[in-house]
Each structure stands twice: as C-alpha cells, then as structure tokens.
C-alpha cells in the first residue's frame, strides 16, 4: 500500500478502537490502519515492526498510559505524528503532551467520522501527501493479511475481499520454505485455481487457494507435487471452506493444530486435512505408582523398560497437546529425582542439572528432541544407581533381594531368610530399615502387590486366585494389604484399569 499513511490505534477500550477504525473509509482518505493496541507497552512493541506514520492514542490506560507513550515515541521516533483522545476531565492533563510534540487532540464526546477526518487532514502536512494517494488501493494479499490478523476491514476492503473468482477456499502453510514470494505464482499453471500469498510475521509461507469444489482433487495433487520438489519444507492443507470470512477461524482452529502435529510427525512432508496418519487408540494411562514401586524395590531395568515403552506409545499420538507431553516428561523426571534422594542415592548432580533438563525439554522443537533429552536423564540415573549400589550393597544382600524376587510366592520371613543366607535376623531387620527405608514385611508386601496389580491388569483370574498366586494364603488379608497400599480393593482396581492389549 505505498502512498498510504500507516496508522496505529491505541486505547484500552475495544469499542473505542473499533469505533475509530470504522468511522471512516481510511483508504479513500489516504490512510491504512496497520494495528491496534490496548496500552502503551503493546504499542511500543508494534511500532518497530509496523512503522506507523500516525498514532491515535487514549490518555488513561493500564500499564503505560498515553502521556508516557507520547514521551517515549517522540524521544525515539520524532517523525511519528500523534493525536491524543481525551475526555473533558482529562483535558488539563493532556495539555502537558503538547510539550512533547503532540500534533492535535480530539475530545471523545466529539469523536465521529467528520471530526476524525478534519483532524487527520490538519495533522498530516501537505508535503507528505501526493495528489494520487487516494488512487492507491490495497492489494488482495494485504487485505487478506489484515483479515487473518483479525482487524476490521473498510468498505473498500470488504468489496475487494468479496471479489474472488471461485466458490471455495483452503489455507496452505509451507513450513520452512526459503522461497516464499514465488510459491503462489508457481502453484498452479491453469486458470481453474488461484493462489494468493498472505504476508505474515512468521517464517512459514501462508497461501489462500481459491477453487471450485470440483477442483478439490486438483488442489491436493498440486500440493503433493510441489512438496516433492521442495524436500526441505512441510506442506499443510486445511479443510476447505466456502466463506472468506472463515479465514481467521480456519487458520487458528485447524491449520495451526495441523502445524502442531509436525512436533510428532517430523518425517511427514505433506499433511492434508482428510489424509492424515491414523491416530492410535487411546493409550493406557501410565501407572506412576507401579513405576515408583519398582524404583523403590530397585528393579530399575524393569521400571525403565516400562517407562520407555510408554514414551514410545505417547509419541505415536500426534494429536496430543505438546505442552501436556512435555509436562508429563518433566513430571516423571521430577518424581524420579525426589524418590532417589529419599532412597539416599547421591542425586546432587541430578538436582544441579534438573532445571537444565526442564529448559531443554521445554525448548525442544520436536518430540524426538524432547525424548532424547529425557533418555539422557535416564542414562544419568542408571549411572548413579550403579555406582551407589556397587558401593553400598554387599554382594550377599544383592543375592538375598533377588531371592525374594524369585520366591515371593512362598512363605517368607526373616527367620527363613536368615537360615538360608546365614545372617543374623536382627541384622537383616536393621538392613531393611536402614538401607531400603522399609521393614522386611512392608518390602515383601510391595513386591507381592506389584505382581498382583500386573495379574489384575492382564488376566481374568479371580481375586482369590490372585491372592494365592502372589503368596497370600488368606484372600481377606490380601485385600486388606492391597487397599492399604493402593487405596482401593483389588476388584475396584481392576475395574478402573483398562486391560492391556
């Protein structure tokens, strides 16, 4: 829109901003609304990018008010003209802005189209206007950019945006393209499909494709063929829509979601709305309690295998919220560090690197990058556990713990273990309390209940059978122990936990 003066509207009341934007046909008067802000801080963030010639600002706003905005703008951008909006009671306060170089003011009660045009013509010097400025009309691409950003359109822009040739539209995003300006010209060679490049402040190319419904397959084929010639980009096509006024909604509610899919689908070069990869069935919730129980019992290999298997399943569900996925990884990381610390492992190194892990996971552009960081953490955990276990656990005691793992279905007691391994029963009792932070009976119950949960999840065996299978001769006692440790009866636990496939 060369020749048009760029205008930024600043007011904390949306109705006032919309009123200013819609009072006049800005293009016919030689101006273009390029942005709007609700306070001075937002306005300053937009000035560098939008480079307005004129700012229309309120006085009283939250954050940075209009007086401070005028001072900062005139200090850093003296070439920008400023018109102040004020109420009668603010008028004396507004006088101070003239010392900073405000061009004029408008009283809000008098704000209307005629008053606004009168002020604009007075503020902008004739030397900055050209005789043909009113003949400069926005391009369709610029109007699409404005519509996509959610700004109100002038009457002339409304007429322009209604002038498309064909009945349907689709949005296409080209992620990572290095040749944005030529995409729309090269997209289709025939006249049955039009493509318009929409300028944006993101690195991806955004295209609006206009076509009749019977050309939908032509559009899809064209996108696929172009993607094959551009191996460094990913092409996304939204659902078709029949009203140009759906542009912003389709972009935000559909195309941006498809872009999020690329966080998981890093190898997919083309994603078309009705030809997406199959979403796997809902994954079984991760049993954090069981995982932590395995850690407590020092069954690290089993725990880590179950964890990695679940992460692999999560990565296949490309519709999963990215923030939720990263938060889940961070929650596991946090719980493992806390638990290892409670088990007297040396976690100082993990505590030091904890926030580094969090930051790297948060900043990961793709799921595979986040998981690679997570796997690095797991390897650090395995090294710490190996060093501490070799340092603190006698070889005979390791054999004893393995014996419990292998014989948990049999009647076990401190006396039977002492006889088998020739330990003093008091020494064994002290060892469990000191090194494992639980008594022998509780440790044995942990082992048995973990096994019972797995059987309940993966079989239809009755509660009585499960009780016997894990070493309890009395089903009622088994139920009592299970409820104390898990917070529910074995039967309710089975109902609440989907069976494994």
Least confident of 47-61, 267-281, 379-393, 430-444: 379-393
Cα angle for residues 474, 445, 479 (degrees, 5° grid) = 40
Which pLDDT value is given to residue 134?
Answer: 44
What pLDDT is recorded for position 469?
93
Residues in CB range of 280: below 8 A, 6 or more apart: 313, 316, 317
Mean pLDDT, residues 187-202: 71
**Contact criterion met (CB below 8 Å) for 119 and 94:** no
pLDDT at 137: 55
Q: Considering the entire predicted model, what is its pTM?
A: 0.55
Residue 218, SS3?
A: helix
Asked if residues 252 and 269 have their Cβ atoms less than 8 Å apart, the reply is no
Task: Quickly state the pLDDT bin for 177 (edges 50, 70, 90).
Answer: low
Q: Tell me, what's the pLDDT at 259?
A: 92
Q: Does residue 180 carry a pLDDT above 80?
A: no
- In angstroms, rounded to a whole number, what is the distance separating the alpha carbons of residues 87 and 110? 9
Of the ranges 129-143, 367-381, 430-444, which is most confident?
367-381
Q: Which residue has the tokens 């932590």?
A: 292
Mean per-residue pLDDT of the chain: 82
Structure tokens at 356: 């580094």
Average the pLDDT over each of 42-56, 79-93, 307-321, 443-457 and give the range with the smallest value: 79-93
DSSP 110: G
DSSP 3-state of 55: strand
3-state helix, strand, coil split of the chain in percent (to 5) is 60, 10, 30
pLDDT tens figures, 4-20:
888 999 998 888 888 88
The CA-based angle 34-39-42, given to 5 degrees, is: 60
Cβ-based neighbours of 5, under 8 Å, separated by 6 or more = 30, 31, 32, 53, 54, 124, 128
Q: What is the pLDDT of residue 131?
A: 43
Burial 40-66 (b: 16+ CB within 10 A, else e): bebbbebbeeeebbbbbbbbebeebbb
CATH code at 395-496: 1.10.10.60
| Three-point CA angle 58, 64, 68, nearest 5° | 75
Q: How high is the pLDDT of residue 359?
A: 92
Q: For the chain, how big is the Rg over CA atoms in Å?
A: 34
pLDDT digits 0-9 by tens, 208-228: 999 999 999 989 988 888 888
C-alpha span between 179 and 421 (Å, rounded): 74
Q: How confident is the model at residue 395 (pLDDT cuts 50, 70, 90)?
A: low
- Structure confidence by residue, pLDDT tens digits, 105-164: 787 777 788 888 888 887 775 434 444 444 445 678 888 888 887 776 766 777 788 888
Look at residue 392 in the predicted model and tell me its pLDDT.
54
For position 343, what pLDDT does the model report?
84
Q: Residue 231 carries which DSSP code?
A: T
CATH of 5-135, one of 3.40.50.2300, 3.30.1330.10, 3.40.140.10, 3.40.1160.10: 3.40.50.2300
Residue 426 — pLDDT band, cuts 50, 70, 90?
confident
pLDDT tops 80 at residue 451: yes
DSSP H helical segments within 343-439, as ranges? 348-363, 367-392, 395-407, 414-421, 425-435
Q: What is the pLDDT of residue 231?
A: 75
Q: Say if CB 94 and CB 59 are below 8 A apart.
A: yes
């Amino acid at each position: 829109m060369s020749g048009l003066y760029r205008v930024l509207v600043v007011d904390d009341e949306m109705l006032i901003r919309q009123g200013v934007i819609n009072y006049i046909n800005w293009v016919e008067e030689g101006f273009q609304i390029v942005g709007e802000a609700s306070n001075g801080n937002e306005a300053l963030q937009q000035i560098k990018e939008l480079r307005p010639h004129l700012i229309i600002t309120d006085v009283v706003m939250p954050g940075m008010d209009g007086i401070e905005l005028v001072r900062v703008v005139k200090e850093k951008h003296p070439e920008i003209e400023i018109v102040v909006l004020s109420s009668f009671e603010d008028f004396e306060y507004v006088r101070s802005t003239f010392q900073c170089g405000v061009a004029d003011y408008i009283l809000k009660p008098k704000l209307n189209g005629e008053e606004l045009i009168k002020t604009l013509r007075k503020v902008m010097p004739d030397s900055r206007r050209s005789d043909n400025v009113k003949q400069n009309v926005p391009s369709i691409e610029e109007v699409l950019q404005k519509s996509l950003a959610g700004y109100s359109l002038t009457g002339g822009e409304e007429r322009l945006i209604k002038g498309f040739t064909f009945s349907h539209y689709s949005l296409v995003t080209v992620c990572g393209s290095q040749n944005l300006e030529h995409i729309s010209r090269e997209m289709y060679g025939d006249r049955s499909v039009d493509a318009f490049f929409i300028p944006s402040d993101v690195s991806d190319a955004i295209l609006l494709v206009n076509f009749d419904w019977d050309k939908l397959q032509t559009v899809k084929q064209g996108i696929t063929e172009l993607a094959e010639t551009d191996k460094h980009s990913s092409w996304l096509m939204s659902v078709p829509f029949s009203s140009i006024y759906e542009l912003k909604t389709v972009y935000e509610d559909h195309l941006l979601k498809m872009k999020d899919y690329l966080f998981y689908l890093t190898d997919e070069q083309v994603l078309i709305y009705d030809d997406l990869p199959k979403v796997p069935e809902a994954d079984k919730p991760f049993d954090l309690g069981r995982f932590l129980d395995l850690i407590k019992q020092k069954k690290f290999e089993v725990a880590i295998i179950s964890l990695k298997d679940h992460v692999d399943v999560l990565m296949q569900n490309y519709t999963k919220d990215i923030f939720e996925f990263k938060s889940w990884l961070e929650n596991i990381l946090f719980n493992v560090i806390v638990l290892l610390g409670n088990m007297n492992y040396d976690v100082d190194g993990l505590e030091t690197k904890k926030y580094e892990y969090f930051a790297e996971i948060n900043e990961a552009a793709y799921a595979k990058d986040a998981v690679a960081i997570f796997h690095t953490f797991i390897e650090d955990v395995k090294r710490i556990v190996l060093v501490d276990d070799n340092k603190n656990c006698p070889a005979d005691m390791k054999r004893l713990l393995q014996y419990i793992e292998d014989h948990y279905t049999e009647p076990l007691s401190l006396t039977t273990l002492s006889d088998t391994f020739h330990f003093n029963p008091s020494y064994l009792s002290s060892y469990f309390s000191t090194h494992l932070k639980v008594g022998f009976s509780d440790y044995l119950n942990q082992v048995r209940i973990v096994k019972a949960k797995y059987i309940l999840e993966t079989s239809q065996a009755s509660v009585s059978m499960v009780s016997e299978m894990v070493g309890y001769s009395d089903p009622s006692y088994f139920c009592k122990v299970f409820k104390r440790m898990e917070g529910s009866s074995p039967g309710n636990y089975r109902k609440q936990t989907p069976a494994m496939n």
